[in-house]
Amino acid sequence: TCGPCHALAPVIEKLAGQYAGRAVICKLDTSRHQMTAARFQVRGVPTLMFFKNGQSVDKVVGAVPGTELEQRLNNLL
């Protein structure tokens, strides 16, 4: 429901299609899944977390350009 989250939604959708088969990209509604947000210490939204081999390896808080997200994904692949 936050403005930056809505602004990032199309970027996330584009990346999900672009990286299909190479990365799993998903969204989580932190207001509906508060325990999961607490587990990963999400303190502000949007928070983008990057996992590799089941471990959290990077985190971005706030709306960032799609190019930065692509660069972070490429560094992990």
Catalytic option among 2, 9, 38, 57: 2
Q: Is 12 helix (H, G, I), strand (E, B) or coil?
A: helix
Residue 5 known to be catalytic: yes
Give yes or no: 26 in active site.
no
The one catalytic residue in 3, 4, 5, 39 is: 5
Give the span between the Cα atoms of 17 and 7, in whole angstroms.
17
d(CA 66, CA 61) in angstroms, rounded, equals 14
* 65 backbone φψ class: left, alpha, beta (φ>0; ψ -120 to 50): beta
Catalytic residues: 2, 5
